[in-house]
Amino acid sequence: MRKAKILATGMYVPDFVVTNDLLAQVMDTSDEWITQRTGIKERRVVYDTYRMLQRLAQAPDKDAFLKELYERGLDGHIDATMTTSDLALAATEMALKQANLTAADLDLIIQTSVVPDYAYPGVACVLADKLGLTSTPTFSMNQGCAGFIFALSLADQYIKTGTYNTVLVVGAELLSSFFEYSNRGRDMSVLFADGAGAAILVPAEEGEPSGLISHHLHTDGTLLTKLYGEVFGTTTFPPVVKKKIDDDRVRPRMDGRAVFVYAVRRFREVILECLEANRLRLEDIDHFFFHQANTRILEAIAESLNIPREKIPVNIDRYGNTSAASVPILLHEACQEGRLRRGDLCLLVAFGTGFNWGATLLRW
């Protein structure tokens, strides 16, 4: 049977840097608290969020500013200048360039995001439009932070069976439009940020060692309320109506401790499942590309399995948690930095809302 391999990668993060110190000006938090609990020093957000945070930092009455923002929308915040599909487009264009392909060469697009442009259609349709495509099939997925792993597995099936040859997988997240930058929302808003990562998959050559080897996917919907959000839509900012504010249904919800515990447990389980299925030992893996949720989660996993830290690339300090974009961004940076050599065995693992979690084993 044919094997799929990653031909090229791409990424995009907005230029606007939000430091922990800026967040400390808009809510009761500190660089020390965020760094110690999460490992995050700064994150990237779209211009709309950045400008809103700057104004919020200067507002004498922050509660009144937020109330006005959510109830009426402030000048310049009614229509977002960048949406999820724009982030996806930027990462896609970089991957296409690297692959020396054009959008017309794509046979299939699989895109995954938590916060879409519109309630419907999905982000992939908007992305296809922006790429100038009028009949290329697309999937819009939402498997939270595990989205890229789920999407990769789908791309692999289509290539293996010979249905399609060139498949784009893109994880894009505009999460900063979604969180409440206030004392009430601080548990989540300091963690998440904006970004996109893409990969283009094609069939491996006959006898070529590179390629995707196995996927291990899981969902447990019974724990949905540990990490979820009711309101979405990045085409308007803020995407809320007064009734929802009054009912306090606007804020994304997270039981941080439960997420922490389940993330560590499920990461560990799925890594062991993948190793056993492929009759491998941990030492055989050259790189562990873990979803960048939190350095303490990564450290707990590394410790429980005794994985050397140098095999676990980390960039959460610079980007925060970019959900479905985090694994492809990490992969792209590793390629650019020359960390990946042909033939290296890589394990990609992610966990997120749903809960969804999964692992992909591949040879680079």
Q: Is 321 a catalytic residue?
A: yes
Nearest to 292 by CA among 260, 251, 250, 320: 320
Q: What is the DSSP string of 90-156?
A: HHHHHHHHHHT--GGG-SEEEEE-SS-SSSSS-HHHHHHHHTT-SS--EEEE--GGGHHHHHHHHHH
Q: Please indicate whether residue 278 is annotated as part of the active site.
A: no
Q: Which two tokens stand for residue 10?
A: 């791409």
Give least dist CB 45 to ligand COA, A.
16
Q: Of 336, 268, 261, 324, which Cα lies nearest the Cα of 292?
A: 324
Give least dist CB 30 to ligand COA, A: 7
Task: Give the separation between CA 287 and CA 339, rounded to whole angstroms.
Answer: 9
Distance CA 193, CA 173 (A): 8
The footprint of ligand COA on residues 31-70 (CB under 6 A) is: 33, 37-38
Q: In this chain, which stretch among 52-60, 90-98, 205-213, 258-266 interacts with ligand COA, using CB under 6 A?
A: 258-266
In angstroms, the CA 276 to CA 78 distance is 51
* Contact indicator for 119, 89 with CB cutoff of 8 Å: no
Stretch that binds ligand COA, among 11-19, 68-76, 207-215, 256-264 (CB under 6 A): 256-264
168 vs 259 by CB, closer to ligand COA: 259
What amino acid occupies position 203?
Answer: P
Angle at 262 between CA 261 and CA 267, to 5 degrees: 110
186 is a contact residue toward ligand COA (CB under 6 A): yes
Distance (Å, rounded) from C-alpha 270 to C-alpha 93?
32
CA–CA separation, 122 and 103 (whole Å):
18
User: In angstroms, how far is CA 28 from the centroid of its own chain?
Assistant: 26
Residues binding ligand COA: what is the number (CB under 6 A)? Answer: 20
Catalytic-labelled residue, pool 77, 125, 145, 274? 145
Pairing type for strands 167-174 and 108-112 reads parallel
State yes or no: residue 176 binds ligand COA (CB under 6 A): no
- 190 touches ligand COA by CB under 6 A: yes
CB of 160 to ligand COA, least distance (A): 29
Least spacing, CB of residue 150 vs ligand COA, in Å: 14
By the rule CB under 6 A, 293 interacts with ligand COA: yes
> Segment 336-355, which members bind ligand COA (CB under 6 A)?
351-352
Q: What residues between 118 and 147 interact with ligand COA by CB under 6 A?
A: 145
Q: Shortest gap between Cβ of 351 and ligand COA (angstroms)?
A: 6
Q: What are phi and psi of 20, to 5 degrees?
A: -60, -35
Residue 145 annotated among the catalytic residues of the structure:
yes
* Residue 294 contacts ligand COA per CB under 6 A: yes
**Which range binds ligand COA by CB under 6 A, 13-21, 114-122, 186-194, 330-338?**
186-194
State which residue has the least CB distance to ligand COA: 256
Q: Which residue is catalytic, options 20, 142, 294, 321?
A: 321
Written as one letter, the residue type at 77 is H
**Which residue's CB is nearer to ligand COA, number 177 or number 294?**
294
Nearer to ligand COA, 266 or 287 (CB): 266
Cα(168)–Cα(6) distance, integer angstroms: 10
CB of 192 to ligand COA, least distance (A): 8
Binding site for ligand COA (CB under 6 A): 29, 33, 37-38, 145, 186-187, 190-191, 256-257, 259-260, 263, 293-294, 297, 321, 351-352
Give catalytic residue positions: 145, 291, 321
